[in-house]
Amino acid sequence: MAEYKIELLNKVFHALADPTRREMVKQLAYENRTVTELASPFRISLAAASKHIKVLEEAGLLQRSVQGRTHICRLDPQSLAAANEWIRFYESFWSNQLAALERELDEAEPTELGMVKEEHND
């Protein structure tokens, strides 16, 4: 994997590790928002919201444009797509591993699994 892609993934997962930033991304999935609108659901200052937005921006998760004194934020899905690609690779890996385990368990004899059949004397 190219070094830049690894660095991008590190930034994306770091940005998404924070619940406030995840909620901001969720808000942006519905519509573009101003910094004030992104900050409003939280008990944080506009300066704190701007710091969160800066982290999301550096991770490529959002783009900010300025119209006069208003900063408009919009979701940029490309970085999310890169993270999704990484997750899907491991999802496929684990699905294959679990399917192989299931096949092994289906083929194994009960005594091979450490199970002893109980004999019932009625």
Query: pLDDT tens digits, the chain, 122 residues: what are they?
Result: 566 588 889 999 999 999 999 999 999 999 999 999 999 999 999 999 999 999 999 999 999 999 999 999 999 988 888 888 888 887 777 777 777 777 778 887 666 556 655 555 55
For 114, the 3-state DSSP assignment is: coil
Tokens encoding 51? 């710091």
For 56, the 3-state DSSP assignment is: helix
Confidence at residue 11, expressed as pLDDT on a 0 to 100 scale = 94
Q: Is 38 exposed, middle or buried (0-12, 13-18, 19+ CB in 10 A)?
A: buried
Confidence at residue 2, expressed as pLDDT on a 0 to 100 scale = 61
Task: Please indicate, yes or no, whether the overall pTM of this predicted structure exceeds 0.85.
Answer: no
How far, in Å, are 58, 99, 113, 116 from residue 70 at the CA level? Answer: 19, 52, 65, 72
Confidence at residue 13, expressed as pLDDT on a 0 to 100 scale = 94
Domain spans of the chain, in order of start: 3-78
Tokens encoding 65? 């444009």
Tokens encoding 63? 């783009």
Assess contact for 28 and 77: CB atoms under 8 A. no
CATH code for the structural domain at 3-78: 1.10.10.10
